[in-house]
Amino acid sequence: MSRILKPVCARNVEYVHQVVARYFIDEHEFRIVEYNLGNAFTGNIDILAADTVSLFLVTINRADFAGALLRSLTGYRWFCENRDFLRRVYPPEDVNIDLPVELIILSEEFPPEIPSVLGEVCSVPLRLYRYRLFGQEEDPDIFVEEICSEGTVDHGPSRDLDALRKELAIEPAGLSDEDIRDFLKAMKV
Amino acid sequence: MEKPTTHGRGLEEVSRYYLSGGTREEQGPSNRPRRVCGSGRIVRVCHPGSGLMQSCIVANLALELARNRSSVVVWDCPSPDGAGLESFMESLDLDQQEPASATVRLYGLPDIVIHRGNGADSDKLSDLVSEVSASKDDRCLLVNSHASLESFRTVDLSGEWILLARPDEKELLRCYAYIRVIHEQEPSCTISLVLDDVGQDQDISGMAERFTVFIEDRLRVSVRFLGALRHDGYLRRSIREKRPLVLWQGQSGTKDDLTSISAGFLGLGQGWPNRMDLHE
């Protein structure tokens, strides 16, 4: 017997943010630094998260994708302009504000070809996730999948290796991407 | 005919060990520690992931070398977080008569002289390296420096290296980077590896083997695996009470590991159980 889950539109925005945050914590081992950073006038970030090598500015689309994209980009600009302030607010032992930044946009719908379009125009790494809420409006379940067009939006691997070199302060050794990949592969059981 | 037991026989035994002109190690039974720390040995200890543990290892290794009759000199540059060798030996009797050095005096052991250095004293360190290298007696210079990889391009890297890393891919990758730079600068260096802060269930031998095989294949450098260091309560207590762990009397897994690693480095004992198997 199959169970049919009907999409719902959760009214409580804060709750949706927390459900999305839980997804990133569980699935990607992100650490949530802050919710609702900045303001709507100068740019805001729904969730500021981090892992060991990157900071993530997460925007959750609640209306139209164009608005969410603009919000994400202005949020990024706000973040860059206020880095000094953020360094004072968040001590280095909590989060390293100087880590490389990635943008994340979650939306229920995306315009066609948007991954490849953004891949061509964005210099900042950007990830797109489709999400759906199911169940009850007051207590929804979430479904999330990453939308990725290979060679377009995903700047991941080489950027990750640059961040890794920086994190370990091993740039002077001149290890190439291939060196590092070979090493990591060799160390796997 | 068996020689009868006399009081004089005891004196003969004593004189055989203590009253002749030879060194003690040459005269003792075959299972006694032999002197292996040859003249003019330069040993550089480097733990890129933890300045605290680097100084801890140097403090304990200095005592183990002294226990094996080496004259130990230490070049000590505290890490940015202030973890220098003296902070690990505060509970010992330190002779502070010289402004730039301190001497550890323990009954029955050769003195350990600690020279306080900083990053700007490279000439002084070079002088010390030259002095110890040229010495004819059994001297060993332990270098406890916290220089960055970037500065490796401009400093003297000669000698024997003990690299420490936690048993995870990132830390070992950093070790790989260090070995590459050291080897490029000083191809004649010997390099040993110690895995620090290992867990009970980790496959340490397998990890060490994969690492040493990769380095051998990629850089043509033979890395000697000295062993793994567990962290137990005694280690934390020894750091807190500023007393090197090898001087503690109680049973401690970390102390056993330190002794085994030191013995492996000095070539005195078995060292890590699987150490000899790694390159076979």
Surface-to-core class of residue B235, CB atoms within 10 Å of its CB (0-12 exposed, 13-18 middle, 19+ buried): buried
Judged against a pLDDT cut of 50, whether residue B96 lies above it is answered with yes
CB-nearest to A180 from B150, B173, B178 is B173
Judged against a pLDDT cut of 60, whether residue B272 lies above it is answered with no
- Closest among B173, B140, B144, B120 to B51, alpha carbons compared: B144
Looking at residues A25-49, what average pLDDT do you find? 87
Residue B206 contacts A, CB cutoff 8 Å: yes
The answer on A161 and A144 residing in a single domain is no
CB-nearest to A189 from B181, B206, B213 is B206
The answer on A163 and A147 residing in a single domain is no
Residue B204 contacts A, CB cutoff 8 Å: no
Are A171 and B152 contacting, i.e. CB atoms less than 8 angstroms apart?
no
- Min CA distance, A30 vs chain B (Å)? 18
Looking at residues B206-233, what average pLDDT do you find? 94
The answer on A126 and A81 residing in a single domain is yes
pLDDT of residue B147: 79
Dihedral in degrees, nearest 10, Cα atoms A126, A132, A137, A138: -50
Query: pLDDT class for B268, splitting at 50, 70, 90?
Result: low
Judged against a pLDDT cut of 50, whether residue A64 lies above it is answered with yes
B169–A172 CB contact, under 8 Å? no
Residues on chain A touching B172 (C-beta within 8 angstroms): 183, 187
Domain for residue A2, yes or no?
no
Domain for residue A121, yes or no?
yes
Average pLDDT, chain B: 79
B173–A186 CB contact, under 8 Å? no
The answer on A137 and A48 residing in a single domain is yes
Higher-confidence residue of A179 and B279: namely A179
Domain for residue A8, yes or no?
no
Domain for residue A1, yes or no?
no
CB-nearest to A175 from B152, B170, B177 is B177
Query: pLDDT class for A63, splitting at 50, 70, 90?
Result: confident
Task: Mutate one of B176, B201, B210 to test the A interface: name it (highest A CB count within 10 A).
Answer: B176
B174–A170 CB contact, under 8 Å? yes
Residue of A nearest to B154 (CA): A172
Domain for residue A164, yes or no?
yes
Q: What is the CATH number of the domain that holds A50?
A: 3.40.1350
The answer on A172 and A83 residing in a single domain is no
Judged against a pLDDT cut of 70, whether residue B117 lies above it is answered with yes
pLDDT of residue B77: 87
- Calculate Rg over the CA atoms of chain A: 18
Task: Mutate one of B170, B185, B201 to test the A interface: name it (highest A CB count within 10 A).
Answer: B170
CA atoms within 13 A on the CB side of B54: 31
d(CA B222, CA B227): 15
The answer on A164 and A106 residing in a single domain is no
Looking at residues B3-27, what average pLDDT do you find? 37
| % of chain A residues with pLDDT over 70 | 87
A189–B203 CB contact, under 8 Å? yes
The answer on A48 and A108 residing in a single domain is yes
Looking at residues A11-38, what average pLDDT do you find? 86
| % of chain A residues with pLDDT over 90 | 27
Domain span at A65: 13-155
Total domains present in chain A: 2
Judged against a pLDDT cut of 70, whether residue A100 lies above it is answered with yes
Higher-confidence residue of B93 and A171: namely A171
Domain for residue A43, yes or no?
yes
- Calculate Rg over the CA atoms of chain B: 20
Query: pLDDT class for B24, splitting at 50, 70, 90?
Result: very low
Instruction: Report CA torsion sign: B123, B127, B133, B137.
Output: negative
Domain for residue A177, yes or no?
yes
The answer on A104 and A174 residing in a single domain is no
Residues on chain A touching B150 (C-beta within 8 angstroms): 169, 171-172
A56 CB-near residues (< 8 Å, 6+ apart): A24, A30, A47, A48, A49, A50, A101, A102, A103, A104
Residue A168 contacts B, CB cutoff 8 Å: yes
The answer on A120 and A64 residing in a single domain is yes
| % of chain B residues with pLDDT over 90 | 36
**What are B253's strand-pairing partners?**
none
- Closest among B210, B182, B223, B46 to A173, alpha carbons compared: B182
Domain for residue A124, yes or no?
yes
What pLDDT, in 10s, does the model give residues A79-95? 998 888 888 888 887 88
Are A140 and A133 contacting, i.e. CB atoms less than 8 angstroms apart?
yes
Residues on chain B touching A53 (C-beta within 8 angstroms): none
The answer on A94 and A79 residing in a single domain is yes
Judged against a pLDDT cut of 70, whether residue B5 lies above it is answered with no
The answer on A118 and A31 residing in a single domain is yes
Higher-confidence residue of B224 and A149: namely B224
The answer on A161 and A87 residing in a single domain is no
Go through B155-188 and write b for each residue having 16 or more CB atoms within 10 A of its CB, e for each that does not.
Answer: ebbebbbbbbbbbebbbbbbbbbbbbbbbeebee
What pLDDT, in 10s, does the model give residues B127-176? 888 888 888 778 899 999 887 888 888 888 989 999 999 998 889 999 99
A170–B149 CB contact, under 8 Å? yes
B173–A183 CB contact, under 8 Å? yes
Residues on chain B touching A179 (C-beta within 8 angstroms): 218
